Structure 1
Amino acid sequence: MSQLLVEYPHSRNGRCDNPLARGADGVLRYGNLTPALTELLDIQVHTHAAREAVVEIGGPRLTYRELWYSASRIAGGLQEHGIGYGDRVAVRMPVGARWVQAFLGALLSGAVPVLVHDGLPDAVADRVLRDASTDFILDGGGRAAGYRGPLPDGAAFIDDGASLGELALLCYTSPGSETGPRGVELTNENLLSAICSMTGALSLPGDGLRNLVLAPLAHASGCVDQLLPTFAVGGTVVLAPDPAAVPETLVAERIDMVSATPRIFAGLLPELAGLRVEQVRQLCSAGHRAELAAAGPAAVDSVSDTLREVFPSARQWSVWGATETSGIGLARDDDSAARDVLGFAFGGTELALCGPHAATGHGELLCRGPNVTRRYWNDPQTTESNFTGAWFRTGNQVSIDGNGLVRQAPAT
């Protein structure tokens, strides 16, 4: 790269107990990770077997033991269909307990889950499926069956031979760009590091967290940054496919954390109007409030103000990241930050600026860390253009002050 690159050394670890050490490639890494995501989850299953793992409002309620057993049966069914280590298994289903079972079933089979959002147009979804060279699709029986057909079923099976450096998940970027969605390779280390960073930064408790996850499970923000960290601390993931059920769910399910995107929170305001829920302690918004910027500053303030009224005891967090960074990277406390603030780097994420004004704290934001992908799926050209060594080029123009606080640059 001919342009100046200015690095901002790591300065905080988001209150995570797991130590970080710099590798030979300059990337910070956690020192005490389990070898694979399946092993981490297996530990929680045996520790909290009778605790609820996933609750679908209007649908199944599964304990850790029940979820693990049903997922292992799906894994066994996939094995009987010839699916094994390294094969790509797409999960294209509506949000619900069956989605979680299918995702874990693909993982336990030794295959690589490919997340395909249920709401994608067929043409875009088909492009993703072809790009991933998908070997099997878990759609619950097909679109014509309303996704309610049987999932594969066989003798319980768990492939536990994975290692930190192996591919664990294919997650696709937004289809909004000219090139369409790109497959992002996330390894076990990427996922486990993101989990460790999230549990540390948000201080997730291990005594029965009940997280109402409204963020899309087919995105890194929902799957990697909410579903998996909740499981990692033995918590309960509560899913409400019908937004109208959210107010009753908050009370009836004793919810103490709510996670969504800014747009989803904004869409919930009519349902939440007049409600006051004291027991919710944390709100986690996946992404900064740029989603609402087109509606103007008043819309941004309205969402934050209403959420404070509804959840007076809750601390509001915004987590910024990209699919390439496992959905994490920067975090901010909404109670103390202006609209243009993206936040501070947390976990093992480190930052750099690139461009002619990088030396003065302005330029394109680059990220590296144990949560950052090494490459795109089957796309060496894009990998080469979007990475400088271990640094991922986000394309975001920002400023970074002397304390490491990152702000979005004004639109030009």
Structure 2
Amino acid sequence: MTLSLAAVLAESAVRRPDHPAIEFAGARLTYRELWFRARQYAAVLDERGTRPGDRVALLLPNGLEFPAAYFAVLALGAVVVPMHALLKATEIEYVLRDSGAHVLICAGSLLAEGRKGAAVAEVPLLAVRADAECEAPRLDVLAEHAEPIAAHRPCAPGDLAVILYTSGTTGRPKGAMLTQLSITMNVTVGMLSPFDFRAEDVLFGCLPLFHTFGQICGMLTCFRAGATMVLTDRFDAAGALDLMVAHRCTVFMGVPTMYLALLDAAAATPLRPPLDRAFSGGSALPVKVLEEFQATFGCTIYEGYGLTETSPVVAYNQRAWPCKPGTVGRPIWGVEVEIARADLEGRIELLRAGEVGEIVIRGHNVMVGYLGRPEATAEVLVDGWFRSGDLGVKDADGYLSIIDRKKDLVLRGGYNVYPRELEEMLVHHPAIAQVAVIGVPHERHGEEVCAVVIPRADRTPDEALGAEIVAWSRERMAAYKYPRLVEFVDAFPLGPSGKVLKRELAQWFGAERRIRPPAARGTCQGDQGR
């Protein structure tokens, strides 16, 4: 049996050759044109010795070059290694060495760091969209006169397709190895349900393509359906509304910070795009935001759950069954999700409905392991299950709710405090625009609960407001869990998927406070000893 992820684009180019595949910055490529360009890129890589199984790293921002290079690598049976576009030279060097990259394809705008990282790692570099003075070989220029390869090479289902690096919240990033089968199945299943993509859909592509949400749920699923992706290189809420209206976008995929920004932008304009459905992932979306978005845009947000290591989709709310706000829906087709705890010997023990434990997953979507890290792989792949590191609970109907990351759990005085639960409540305070709850070291209680708040524009972030939030929380939350500390910031530190980086907040507001946030604007401390 052969199976190639490259067929996602190749087959749509046959079925819908003249349909727009991607639009970016005023330029448009049909499926025929995009596949032709990808095969030209593949011809250049082939001439330079890229063979099946070789790792090809991409240091590319959103643009027409990303899908062309991505599918060029896949067409040769090689392995794509996408990298965060904002990495510095030492980080680029690390990924190139760790992945054993054969070559780096780097955007001209990112050459300052990319060239240095590639040079130290001793990896050849091909530039795209670079100026005429660029000394590196230019892939796009060489491809202009290249005879495209005839077709994509066959692969086995278990062959690697993509290596995606984790965000490195604990130690250095690890490369999750995803196969031709795992991604192709996740894309095909996701296209049908939960994303319900149709050929006439127009996706607003504002997520970074180097990240699993934008790359697999967005780009690959859209191309698998033969639909159109309107791509932007950065998310700006007001500009996003304009583009979605102009292109009549029907599907939006985003992270919670994007939905909050869209609601703010919508308050200043009557423009509304013809959105049919929206999908949220990356981190928890407060139910209040779901309701406000529905009322403002007339469009349901379906919240789901996935991980880099699971290709990525695990579970989603969707049209196929009743939506339950506050949950991430049911597992997708072919994937099992359970709640478990590890016994004394480290084996998986499954729990009953209603019990809180670690979310474990098995199915076609699970990675084969972390590249070059057998011990780390053995820690998360146990008894045939992938241990997510997330805490969750399933109800009697099989709906999954994410309680929190195990690493984000706050242990105050021996009691478990789940930050997401508190965040869901705190967003209802009239002065709070956004909030993230963290634990900070405390001599008596071990950890103290701290609410890091972005206040609404009409409220002053001072000690009086902090005391108000503490008092408000005390009335509505159990004594062991309400936040005694309130800190104010102008913005949260965000990861590539738009997820709030709580580890950075913990550094900013930890007991020693060695690192102060540039946007910090005030603090309040209340009844910590109680």
TM-score scaled by length of structure 2? 0.65
Encode CA deviations 1:156-214: one digit per residue, 9 max, x unaligned: 12432212111111111113x12221101111110111012211213534332111122
Measured after TM superposition, the shift of residue 249 of structure 1 is: 0.9
- For residue 327 of structure 1, what is the aligned residue in structure 2? 312
Distance 2:4 2:11 in 1: 11
- 256, 271, 274: which is aligned to 1:279? 274
Distance 2:128 2:4 in 1: 30
2:13 and 2:35 in contact (8 A); partners too: yes
Q: Which runs of 5+ in 1 are unaligned?
A: 1-32, 291-299
Encode CA deviations 1:341-363: one digit per residue, 9 max, x unaligned: 23211121101232268434332
- For residue 234 of structure 1, what is the aligned residue in structure 2? 226
Q: Which moved more, 1:45-54 or 1:224-233?
A: 224-233
- 1:6-405 map, 5 Å: 35-56=3-24, 58-141=25-108, 143-144=111-112, 148-149=129-130, 150-152=138-140, 153=143, 154-157=146-149, 158-175=151-168, 177-202=169-194, 204-242=196-234, 243=236, 244-273=238-267, 274-277=269-272, 279-289=274-284, 300=286, 303-312=289-298, 314-332=299-317, 336-339=323-326, 341-355=327-341, 358-360=350-352, 361-405=355-399
- For residue 295 of structure 1, what is the aligned residue in structure 2? none
The alignment of Structure 1 onto Structure 2 pairs a total of residues equal to 367
Encode CA deviations 1:89-120: one digit per residue, 9 max, x unaligned: 11111111111112112222322110101123
Tell me the amino acid that sits aligned with residue 105 of structure 1. Answer: A
1:34 and 1:40 in contact (8 A); partners too: no
DSSP 3-state at the match of 2:370: coil
Which runs of at least 4 in structure 1 moved beyond 4 Å after TM superposition? 333-336
Distance 2:88 2:107 in 1: 18
1:210 and 1:235 in contact (8 A); partners too: yes
Question: CA 1:272/1:76 → structure 2, altered by over 3 Å: closer, same or farther?
Answer: farther
Q: Which has the higher contact order (CA 8 A, sep 6+)?
A: 1
Measured after TM superposition, the shift of residue 268 of structure 1 is: 3.8
Distance 2:194 2:270 in 1: 25
Distance 1:402 1:78 in 2: 52
DSSP 3-state at the match of 1:289: coil
Between Structure 1 and Structure 2, whose CA radius of gyration is higher? 2
CA RMSD for the aligned pairs? 2.4
Percent of aligned pairs with the same residue? 26
2:128 and 2:139 in contact (8 A); partners too: no
2:245 and 2:273 in contact (8 A); partners too: no
Tell me the amino acid that sits aligned with residue 166 of structure 2. Answer: T
Distance 1:188 1:362 in 2: 34
Q: Which moved more, 1:119-128 or 1:383-392?
A: 119-128
- For residue 409 of structure 1, what is the aligned residue in structure 2? 403
1:287 and 1:318 in contact (8 A); partners too: no
Distance 2:98 2:400 in 1: 34
